[in-house]
Amino acid sequence: MDKWTTLEPTRLYASATTGLRSRTVTKPDPSTYIGRLPKDLHVLIITYLPVYQIPAYSRGNRALSKLTRDERVWEAKWNALLGEQEGLADVLDNLEVLARGKTAEARARAPPTLPVDADDEFGDFASVSMGPAQPGEMGDFVGSFNVTLAPRTPLPTKPTFRSKYIRAHNLLKSLLPSLDSSPHLILSNLFPSPLSTLRHQSQTLHLLRLYLSPSVQPLRNWPALRSSLRSAIDRFEASLLAAFERADGLKDEDGMKEAAWSSWEVWDRAQRGEWEIGRVWAEKREVFYEGERWDPLKNFTKDDALDFDAMVEFMTYELNVIREHGSTAVRVFPPAANVLTMFAGRISVEVVAEYILPLLNRAREISNEIFLRATAASFAQAWRMVDVMVSVGGENITKTQAEDVVYQMFEQNMDEYLDEEVESVKATLETICRGWERQLASQSQVTAANQSARFLDSHNPALMKRNVLASFTNVLLLPVTIVPRTVGAFVTTSSTAAVNGIAMLNPQRWGAQAANGYSADLTGKNGDFYLDNTDVEEHEREHEKRPSSISSRATLDPPSSTAGTSASSRSASPKPSPAAFDRLQMLLSLDVALELIHADRESLKRVETFQYYPGHYGHKVRETVEELFILMLQALSDRHITPGFRRATEQMHTYKPAEHEETTSVAPLMQFFELVHIGDTIQSMAQVYFDKEMAPHIDRTDFLNGVVREKKRFENALDDCVAAGLNAGTEVLMNQVEHIIWTRTGAREYYPQEGDTLELGPTQGCREAIACLEMHCKLIRGSTSKDVLEVFYEEVGIRLHAVIQKHLKRQIISLDGGFQVIADLNAYHTFISSLKVPQITNDFANLKMLGHVFIVSDAKDLAQIVRDVTRYGGSFRPEDIYEFIQRRSDWKKIEKTVDKTMYNLSFKEDCVIC
């Protein structure tokens, strides 16, 4: 215990102040600093210093003097001087050869000299001459160039950036005295006889311009020398332009090429503007002065229809010009000059655009439709320039550069075109919808024979829909003519053929009773449905006989739009015609839906001509494409489908079973099922149109996209209309079933006279009610989804359950009649079981057990059956069963016994009043 030492207290969590004090400060390595700045920062400073100021910086100390030899400094200077321009390295070699020749001549004439080994930090650049200093030499980076280099150390085997710059500096500095002479003598002093080539002279001047640039600044007086060099280059460019024009006049491509490449070498690319030689060459082409040769108005016929043969001829000539002169530009001018792009751009702006502008103005004066077609056709013709430019330019021009030429030329027309395209589609869709509404309002009578439900008459409605959609898909693949040729009837004919081809898909025209005498046999040998391919010209002649495809239908009464109208029509005619409810299928038209889609597709195809437009207008084009599809969906939903289903629902509410002799079918519900088939077909066509035309333009998984949201709204609106109509149809159907049971069930069906022979089978009312239900349930089976079908079945079962209970409570049922009740209940249960809806099947199974209360003769046993709640699966309470047994013919006899057994109650014994 004595050897133990006490533990010193330790801080588990040190305070912030203590942590800061205990933290060790890392001192910088002194070897990486010169003064207070790191070496890398000094190197960066030296890199941006002018060359003539580097000696002054190096005099600070030996460390700074050593840094001036850092390769990073001279690499930056070398890159500013030559960089990656390997062609200028040959100029330095030629200058070195000339300098050696001059040095040899100078040594031969000069007296002997003694070399001086001066202890200079920059002695590697030059030896010191024994003669007098040259003017401007003091303060410069190196000494004179008339003495051979005498380095103290042997040169490295691989040249460094510093050695390469020193060599270039010494060679180029020897040319600077020529810049101090008069401006007209600079070129002759720089390039004395014998004259060098134009290419060599241009490269030398280019190298001198880089040498006397702000990024190098080799001497103190470099701004004055650069100004003199600029004047000399201007004179040199003027002489090159004259030489180029002489060679161009003589068609001497070699001379043109030498002058052009030399001019491009000395041209300062930092200056804004066009290259002089390229601009002059383009301006001398005759194509810019032939405006009067072409008349844009020749693209219109005497009937103000489009005929683009004139523009096709015009563009063919312009493309031949680009092909001819563009090939010359590719052979003569440097690829980097982009003379072909500039030349084609000037043709597009000064020739093609000037041709298109009056053409579009005239088209706008004629009609908006002509303007839209002319705009798309003009762009399609101008687009031909792209392929020609790419084929002529080869590797010297990219397809993007060629496309930009056409895009920039046509930008001035895009705003107006896109706005007018949207307004035109709105007007066209509005015209189609109003025409359909007027058509409904103007027709007054229709025969039942002409109003047969074509979908429902088919052996396989689903197969019929697939055939309709297959034909519709083929129609979508029909090409839309963008550039009209020959007379304007070409486009009209193609559009008419497309409309007629679409119109023939209407199932309302199929069958032997179609309007205007048209008929087609749609049934094959095996009873399968197929489409008959009829001659298109026959349908075109048929189309010309009538103003629209809607008029080919038989006439029909306008549907009642309000309850007041329906009420007034019923009061005016006490017994409405049965055919009045056979016209619900005419409230929707495949023709109208197809016309809306065709009008939208024709506009969409025109806009797709501009689908690859870049930048701002490309975004507007994509927005326009989406807006066109949204407008079509809105017109199809709000102006056609929704009003049609709403009117059908209103008419179904006016149906009264008592006013119709037919019991098997409910006329409005039959026609509503046909309407559902047509609506489902329209939705399928919209989906096909979306998949074929719109899916490439949008992201189908983007639920925030306007097209996807509008399409979802369209589908929901159709579902809501079908649901509302089915609700009304179910009510009409069950009213019909109740009417059948009430009228077809005899007065003594459940209370036969004694001695009558009983036929244990369903009554006539039961059989007809089940037949009516079976037919309508079968019809709806192929027109809605499985979920909607199950809901419909469940609703029918619930309402039928209530109708049967109501019917039984109206009857007087004897013991023999109870067996007839059981037979009817068994028939109803069998029908409901065929629907395969578990919930309502259980309810009818419990209802079937209810028939036993009518065949039990013993009152006490009857009372026990009534009190047995589990017997009916919880569907009926004892109170409910008590109401049914009150309809027994012997109820007055057994009432007391039943009451006493059920409630242990006797009125004579327990009632005070009795």
Query: Residue range 871-893: average pLDDT?
Result: 86
- What is the pLDDT at residue 560? 38
Q: Which helix H or strand E contains 622, and what residues bound it?
A: helix 615-636
| pLDDT band for position 589 (cuts 50, 70, 90) | confident
Tell me: pLDDT of 119 over 60.
no
User: How far apart are the C-alpha atoms of 329 and 392, rounded to whole Å?
Assistant: 10
| pLDDT band for position 195 (cuts 50, 70, 90) | low
Tell me: pLDDT of 125 over 50.
no
Tell me: pLDDT of 105 over 90.
no
Cβ-proximal residues to 442 (8 Å cutoff; 6+ apart), any chain: 558
Residue in 652, 643, 658, 654 with CA at minimum distance from that of residue 673 = 652
Query: Residue range 558-571: average pLDDT?
Result: 37
Would you state the structure tokens that stand for residue 51, as one six-digit string? 């060359």
Place of tokens 């066509």: 685
Query: Residue range 256-264: average pLDDT?
Result: 92
Cβ-proximal residues to 859 (8 Å cutoff; 6+ apart), any chain: 894, 897, 898, 901
- What is the pLDDT at residue 574? 37
| Partners of 37 in the β-ladder | 34
Tens-digit pLDDT profile for residues 171-180? 889 888 888 8
Tell me: pLDDT of 311 over 80.
yes
Residue 210 to residues 83, 125, 207, Cα–Cα distance (Å):
10, 21, 5
Query: Residue range 56-60: average pLDDT?
Result: 89
Long-range (24+ apart) CB contacts under 8 A made by 61-65 are: 61/34, 63/34, 64/34, 65/121
Contact predicate 266/237, CB 8 Å: yes
The DSSP string of 768-836 is HHHHHHHHHHHHHTTTS-HHHHHHHHHHHHHHHHHHHHHHHTT--B-HHHHHHHHHHHHHHHHHHHHHT
Tell me: pLDDT of 532 over 90.
no
- What is the pLDDT at residue 867? 83
Query: Which comes out higher in pLDDT, residue 578 or 724?
Result: 724
Tens-digit pLDDT profile for residues 477-528? 666 566 565 433 333 334 444 444 444 444 444 333 333 333 333 333 333 3
User: How far apart are the C-alpha atoms of 203 and 82, rounded to whole Å?
Assistant: 11
Would you state the structure tokens that stand for residue 636, as one six-digit string? 């199809």
Residue in 738, 789, 732, 734 with CA at minimum distance from that of residue 765 = 738
What is the number of residues in the chain?
Answer: 914
Contact predicate 277/334, CB 8 Å: no
Would you state the structure tokens that stand for residue 689, as one six-digit string? 């149109």
Which of the residue ranges 9-13, 294-298, 773-777 has the most confident prediction, judged by mean pLDDT? 294-298
Query: Residue range 345-350: average pLDDT?
Result: 93
Q: Which helix H or strand E contains 34, and what residues bound it?
A: strand 33-34
Phi, psi at residue 33, to the nearest 5°?
A: -120, 145
Place of tokens 């429902």: 456
Characterize the bridge pairing of strands 37-38 and 33-34.
Answer: antiparallel
Phi, psi at residue 890, to the nearest 5°?
A: -100, 25
Phi, psi at residue 765, to the nearest 5°?
A: -60, -40
- What is the pLDDT at residue 328? 93
- What is the pLDDT at residue 862? 86
Query: Which comes out higher in pLDDT, residue 140 or 513?
Result: 140
**The CA-based dihedral angle spanning residues 384, 388, 393, 394, taken in that order and rounded to the nearest 10 degrees:** 100
3-state secondary structure (DSSP) of residue 486: coil
Tell me: pLDDT of 710 over 90.
yes
Long-range (24+ apart) CB contacts under 8 A made by 856-860 are: 857/815, 859/894, 859/897, 859/898, 859/901, 860/897, 860/901
Cβ-proximal residues to 753 (8 Å cutoff; 6+ apart), any chain: none
| pLDDT band for position 352 (cuts 50, 70, 90) | very high
DSSP 352: I
Tell me: pLDDT of 402 over 90.
yes
Q: Which of 84-88, 283-287, 419-423 has the lowest mean pLDDT?
A: 84-88
Query: Which comes out higher in pLDDT, residue 522 or 678?
Result: 678
- What is the pLDDT at residue 784? 67
- What is the pLDDT at residue 323? 93
Query: Residue range 156-183: average pLDDT?
Result: 86
User: How far apart are the C-alpha atoms of 783 and 772, rounded to whole Å?
Assistant: 18
Average pLDDT value for the chain: 77
- What is the pLDDT at residue 827? 93
Tens-digit pLDDT profile for residues 182-193? 888 888 888 886
- What is the pLDDT at residue 556? 32
- What is the pLDDT at residue 518? 30
- What is the pLDDT at residue 863? 86
- What is the pLDDT at residue 395? 87
| Partners of 529 in the β-ladder | 523
Phi, psi at residue 864, to the nearest 5°?
A: -65, -40
Query: Residue range 583-595: average pLDDT?
Result: 81
Tens-digit pLDDT profile for residues 202-217? 888 999 999 999 988 9
DSSP 351: I
- What is the pLDDT at residue 833? 92
Query: Which comes out higher in pLDDT, residue 385 or 29?
Result: 385
| pLDDT band for position 668 (cuts 50, 70, 90) | confident
- What is the pLDDT at residue 244? 93
| pLDDT band for position 871 (cuts 50, 70, 90) | confident
- What is the pLDDT at residue 572? 36
Q: How many CB atoms lie within 10 A of CB 52?
A: 17
Query: Which comes out higher in pLDDT, residue 868 or 662?
Result: 868
Q: Which of 120-134, 530-544, 800-814 has the lowest mean pLDDT?
A: 530-544
Strand segments (E) across 869-910: none
Work out the burial of residue 193: count CB atoms within 10 Å of its CB; fewer than 13 is exposed, 13-18 middle, 19 or more buried.
exposed
Query: Which comes out higher in pLDDT, residue 780 or 811?
Result: 811
Tell me: pLDDT of 234 over 50.
yes
- What is the pLDDT at residue 565? 35
Tell me: pLDDT of 149 over 60.
no
Tell me: pLDDT of 457 over 80.
no
Please name the amino acid found at residue 889.
S
Cβ-proximal residues to 860 (8 Å cutoff; 6+ apart), any chain: 897, 901
Contact predicate 65/59, CB 8 Å: yes
Please name the amino acid found at residue 159.
P
Tell me: pLDDT of 129 over 90.
no
DSSP 37: E
- What is the pLDDT at residue 353? 93
| pLDDT band for position 727 (cuts 50, 70, 90) | confident
| Partners of 306 in the β-ladder | 300
User: How far apart are the C-alpha atoms of 861 and 857, rounded to whole Å?
Assistant: 8
Residue in 886, 853, 857, 858 with CA at minimum distance from that of residue 872 = 853
pTM of the model: 0.70
Q: Which of 357-366, 490-499, 606-615, 716-725 has the lowest mean pLDDT?
A: 490-499
Contact predicate 450/621, CB 8 Å: no
Residue 687 to residues 18, 329, 470, 630, 640, Cα–Cα distance (Å):
73, 52, 13, 13, 17
- What is the pLDDT at residue 591? 86
Tell me: pLDDT of 24 over 60.
no
Query: Residue range 294-316: average pLDDT?
Result: 91
| pLDDT band for position 538 (cuts 50, 70, 90) | very low
Tell me: pLDDT of 843 over 50.
yes
Sign of CA dihedral 650, 656, 659, 663: positive
User: How far apart are the C-alpha atoms of 536 and 534, rounded to whole Å?
Assistant: 6
Contact predicate 817/773, CB 8 Å: no
3-state secondary structure (DSSP) of residue 616: helix
- What is the pLDDT at residue 748? 82
Query: Residue range 574-585: average pLDDT?
Result: 51
Tens-digit pLDDT profile for residues 787-820? 778 888 888 999 999 999 999 998 898 888 888 8
Would you state the structure tokens that stand for residue 899, as one six-digit string? 């009451």
Longest CA pairwise span in the chain (Å): 168
3-state secondary structure (DSSP) of residue 546: coil
Tell me: pLDDT of 759 over 80.
no
CA Rg value for the chain: 50
Place of tokens 């349908």: 539
User: How far apart are the C-alpha atoms of 710 and 707, rounded to whole Å?
Assistant: 5
Tell me: pLDDT of 387 over 90.
yes
Residue 105 to residues 167, 173, 229, Cα–Cα distance (Å):
20, 19, 28
Contact predicate 596/632, CB 8 Å: yes
**How much of the chain, in percent, has pLDDT values that exceed 70?**
72
Q: Which of 306-315, 577-586, 882-891 has the lowest mean pLDDT?
A: 577-586
Tell me: pLDDT of 665 over 80.
no
Q: Which of 151-160, 491-500, 594-603 has the lowest mean pLDDT?
A: 491-500
Q: Which of 303-312, 667-676, 780-789 has the lowest mean pLDDT?
A: 780-789
- What is the pLDDT at residue 465? 65
Tell me: pLDDT of 580 over 70.
no
- What is the pLDDT at residue 877? 87
Phi, psi at residue 51, to the nearest 5°?
A: -60, -40
Please name the amino acid found at residue 661.
E
Tell me: pLDDT of 911 over 80.
no
User: How far apart are the C-alpha atoms of 568 and 71, rounded to whole Å?
Assistant: 104
**Helical ranges in 23-160 per DSSP H:** 39-48, 54-58, 62-67, 71-81, 89-109
| pLDDT band for position 664 (cuts 50, 70, 90) | low
∠ CA 194-196-202, nearest 5°, is 150
Tell me: pLDDT of 447 over 60.
no
Query: Residue range 287-300: average pLDDT?
Result: 89
